[in-house]
Structure 1
Amino acid sequence: MLRENQRRFKFDWITIILFLLLISFGYLNILSASHVGEITSYFDTSELYGKQLIFIGLTFVIIVLILSLEAKFYERFASIIYLVAILALVGLFIFGKDVNGARSWYGIGSITIQPSEFAKFATALAVAKYISDLQTNMKTLKDQIRVATIIFVPALLILLQNDAGSTIVYLSFFFVFYREGLQQVYLMVVLSLIVLAVLGLKLGVLPTAIITTIVLTCLYLFRKKKRGSIFQYILALVICIGFSYGVKLFYEHVLKPHQQNRISLWLRLEKDPAKLEQMRKAEAYNLIQSEQAISSGGWTGKGFLQGTRTTGKFVPEQETDYIFSTVGEEWGFWGSSFVVVLFVALIIRILYLSELQKSQFSRVYGYGVASIFFLHFTINTGMVMGLIPTVGIPLPFFSYGGSGLWGFTILLFIFVKLDSNKINEW
């Protein structure tokens, strides 16, 4: 009995410590980004930092609830949790509240809840449940389509709510499928399509077609083993050219002007310096201010609560999507590096623990957790530094908001609970 109780409370404290460091450092930066004038009370709910402190307090209540449930609960009720998440997303079309042009929130008085933040862990549970129940290795097309459907449904619902940033997160499950046996050809196809899309926009359809023809010709002539006939290579060429042309049409006729401008700025598509500067002022104001804030921090930063651009509110939405610019200005290169190390350590730790799991459900779920954190971290920091187009996506445990904080906490601590339940053979 004593041994059973000891096993029940044997959590991975390295993961928990990393979580505590991230949530603590995240709060300090929200405090810097949101405070105005002298701080009279950290519990002032009229200020964002006061609200965030309450969110953090409720987070620990959520953690206790998650860890108090049996690990089997999450596997047994994964499908029901997923269904509830889907119904919550559907309900937004009827009862949702518009915030910044996205119908992604339920409003209850002054409180707002964003279901898409909770749909991530629900989808991760559903994917893990399906793969583990069938003991599938993702080799058959039928299984691939079914698992893809589990991901496609919430992603589509979120996209229809005009929340493209949250939709992109669902691409992270591709890494999970690859770990579970998805053929390498899919990875090559995805990378090729990304390259084709960029080339098609940057160079145009005709130059892209010429480059693609040269590459496919070389592959056909110089491969030692001639796989497929020349007609298959011709078909591949036609598909590549058609895709490149389709991306061009999608960019010009489907994307909204501000979305076009963000991609144009990222790829430097505009050749006219005057128009480019005008576009930067109109569409990249947040990014410009963010880059200037980060660069002004230097090696060691200006100090906690001493960031002039942060306290001066030069960076819009700094407490949410652009919170990393506060880190760069007030904590400098070394502080920013510390945050990067914390996130990398957390992701690596989750992957390491996932490989130790005796249950396929726990392993698949663990990879889903790591992949979601990786995509959020990579896209948010890349966006803030201008390395990728601007996308509204929060930095886990740093960006202001209760829904995001609770969603990421639930995502992580379900895995902590699953890991504590694994059977040790040593």
Structure 2
Amino acid sequence: MNNQRGLFYNVDWVTILIYLALCTIGWFNIHAAVFDETHPSIVDTSTNYGKQFIFIMVSLCIATVILLLDYRFFSALAPPVYIITVLLLILVLVIGRNVGGNQAWIPLGGGFRLQPSEFAKSTTCLLLARYLSGTNVKITDRESFFIAAGIILLPMILIMLQPDAGSTLVFCSLIFVLYREGLSPWWLITIAVSATLFITSLLYNQWIVIAVLAVLAGLTIFLNLRNRKIMLPILTGLILCIGFVLAVKPLYNNVLKQHQRSRIDELLGITTDLRGAGYNVNQSKIAIGSGQLWGKGYLQGTQTKYSFVPEQSTDFIFCTIGEEWGFAGSVVVLGLFLFLLLRIIAIAERQHMVFSRIYGYGVASILFFHVIINIAMTIGLMPVIGIPLPFISYGGSSLISFTILLFVLLKLDSNRTGYA
């Protein structure tokens, strides 16, 4: 009992306070986003803001249970909980409920639904940490790399079949975990170059892009004439880049769905459709901009009150913050997220167990991706891919999964000086 008491008091309370602040901010802004004058009470369980209160209470109970468990529990159960999540992802493809074009929810009754893809993030982080912390496992070894990649790719493929492109892309952030554990930086460079070529190939004629690549390769070879060893890698890279550029348009037109292409075209300025694909983002930017410095005040947002922005309590919750709390309120929220992410990285780095460190970076990567993409989406810097803002957007699966993700790390951290 004394040991458990000591471990409980070793929990990082600063991180917990940030978590509670973000949950509270989310709850009040959900109340503002879907406020119903006939149900003014913020704890009215017949409304979404009342349900969010229930989700917060359930999340706090789960967080408490996690903090009372033995830290060895999470490493030991990583494989079975991962398998259970994979089975749920398969099950949702069979009996799942289709909402907004995605078959991602399992109905539970009483108006509640379970979204397995949200929980797959934490279970994937656990199994990835379990595997990479194993004896004689090095990410630089081909076998270890492919096993680690397989752990990440399996839930990605199942989620993509729903299809839920947003949740699928979240798993790509785990490449930062692999990089932290020794993956070559060339993988990150390859991803950055691929993204750049993808965008430029959509914006400009593919032959112009290829000509520019050829000129850059030629200049590089000319400036390094004495180093003949560099010629083959440059020519190989040029051929691969040309092949990628030629494949962009066919893949873009035949793999992505029409609404996905429309959102990307709108973002890149290829087309302008403020009544169609660009409507949500345009209304979101209007809402955020109208808040100016201090905002219009709680429950006073006109864009929010008259429901100009669809999905405003979920994917577009940040525009409620921008409209009612202004630039100042937005900076506070962004500051809390920045502080939380820096705190998580610091927690990860101070771990004595490799498992805990790897898991910590997994938590940081997933939260970073969600925050950056969600906010960039609402201000028109990224295409709309439908992912929630952690701890703030409405949704039980989202809040509970992020709570589990964070508090498992806090439990591991609380035992960092007492590993056996």
Partner residue of 2:10?
10
Where does 1:341-356 land on structure 2 (aligned, <5 Å)?
A: 341-356=335-350
Whole-angstrom CA distance in 2 between matches of 1:376 and 1:227:
44
Whole-angstrom CA distance in 2 between matches of 1:78 and 1:218:
51
Give 1:370 shift.
0.4
Give 1:58 shift.
0.8
> Which of 334, 345, 364 is the equivalent residue of 2:328?
334
Flag the 1:134–1:190 CA change in 2: closer, same or farther, 3 A. Answer: farther
Contact 1:295 1:328 in 2 (8 A): yes
TM-score w.r.t. length of structure 1: 0.95
Where does 1:172-183 land on structure 2 (aligned, <5 Å)?
A: 172-183=173-184
Moved more, 282-291 or 245-254: 245-254
Whole-angstrom CA distance in 1 between matches of 2:51 and 2:177:
35
Partner residue of 2:245?
244
Partner residue of 2:78?
78
Whole-angstrom CA distance in 2 between matches of 1:254 and 1:174:
23
Give 1:234 shift.
2.3
1:222 alignment partner AA: L
Contact 1:106 1:112 in 2 (8 A): yes
Q: Please give the root-mean-square deviation of Cα atoms over the aligned residues, in Å.
A: 1.7
Whole-angstrom CA distance in 1 between matches of 2:285 and 2:182:
40
1:213 alignment partner AA: A
Q: 1:36-66 deviations in whole A, cap 9, x for unaligned?
A: 2254433322211111111111111111111
Partner residue of 1:163?
164
Partner residue of 2:50?
50
Where does 1:264-275 land on structure 2 (aligned, <5 Å)?
A: 264-270=265-271
Contact 2:59 2:403 in 1 (8 A): yes
Moved more, 301-310 or 230-239: 230-239
Q: 1:250-306 deviations in whole A, cap 9, x for unaligned?
A: 112222221111111111123xxxxx3xx2311111111100000000000001111
2:208 alignment partner AA: P
Q: 1:358-417 deviations in whole A, cap 9, x for unaligned?
A: 000000000000000000000000000001111101000111010000000000000000
2:86 alignment partner AA: I
SS at match of 2:65: helix
Moved more, 362-371 or 206-215: 206-215
Contact 2:30 2:317 in 1 (8 A): yes
Whole-angstrom CA distance in 2 between matches of 1:135 and 1:423:
24
1:35 alignment partner AA: F
Partner residue of 1:197?
198
Contact 1:8 1:421 in 2 (8 A): no
Partner residue of 2:383?
389
Partner residue of 2:371?
377
Whole-angstrom CA distance in 2 between matches of 1:371 and 1:140:
23
Contact 2:8 2:67 in 1 (8 A): no
Whole-angstrom CA distance in 1 between matches of 2:290 and 2:40:
28
Give 1:224 shift.
8.6
SS at match of 1:98: strand
Q: 1:171-220 deviations in whole A, cap 9, x for unaligned?
A: 11011111111111111111111111111111121011011112222333
SS at match of 2:274: helix
Whole-angstrom CA distance in 1 between matches of 2:292 and 2:149:
44
SS at match of 1:280: coil
Partner residue of 2:64?
64
Flag the 1:10–1:234 CA change in 2: closer, same or farther, 3 A. Answer: same
> Structure 1 residue 261 and structure 2 residue 255: aligned?
no
Give 1:5 shift.
3.5
> Structure 1 residue 417 and structure 2 residue 411: aligned?
yes
Whole-angstrom CA distance in 2 between matches of 1:384 and 1:262:
12
1:363 alignment partner AA: R
> Which of 275, 291, 299 is the equivalent residue of 1:297?
291
Give 1:226 shift.
3.2
Whole-angstrom CA distance in 1 between matches of 2:143 and 2:228:
25
Whole-angstrom CA distance in 1 between matches of 2:298 and 2:252:
42
Q: 1:79-126 deviations in whole A, cap 9, x for unaligned?
A: 111111111101112121111110101012222110001000000001
Contact 2:351 2:357 in 1 (8 A): yes
Whole-angstrom CA distance in 2 between matches of 1:30 and 1:55:
13
> Which of 391, 396, 402 is the equivalent residue of 1:402?
396
Whole-angstrom CA distance in 2 between matches of 1:60 and 1:225:
64
TM-score w.r.t. length of structure 2: 0.96
Partner residue of 1:107?
107
Contact 2:11 2:410 in 1 (8 A): yes
Moved more, 372-381 or 186-195: 186-195
Moved more, 237-246 or 406-415: 237-246
Whole-angstrom CA distance in 2 between matches of 1:415 and 1:229:
44
SS at match of 1:187: helix
SS at match of 1:105: strand
Contact 2:39 2:47 in 1 (8 A): no
The answer for unaligned runs of 5 or more in structure 2 is none
Whole-angstrom CA distance in 1 between matches of 2:4 and 2:39:
48
User: How much identity, in percent, do the aligned residues show?
Assistant: 42
> Structure 1 residue 359 and structure 2 residue 339: aligned?
no
Partner residue of 1:273?
none
Give 1:233 shift.
2.4
Give 1:9 shift.
3.1
Contact 1:36 1:311 in 2 (8 A): no
Whole-angstrom CA distance in 2 between matches of 1:264 and 1:204:
15
SS at match of 1:282: coil
Moved more, 223-232 or 379-388: 223-232
SS at match of 1:134: coil
1:148 alignment partner AA: A
Contact 2:8 2:68 in 1 (8 A): no
Whole-angstrom CA distance in 2 between matches of 1:55 and 1:298:
32
Give 1:229 shift.
5.2
2:118 alignment partner AA: E
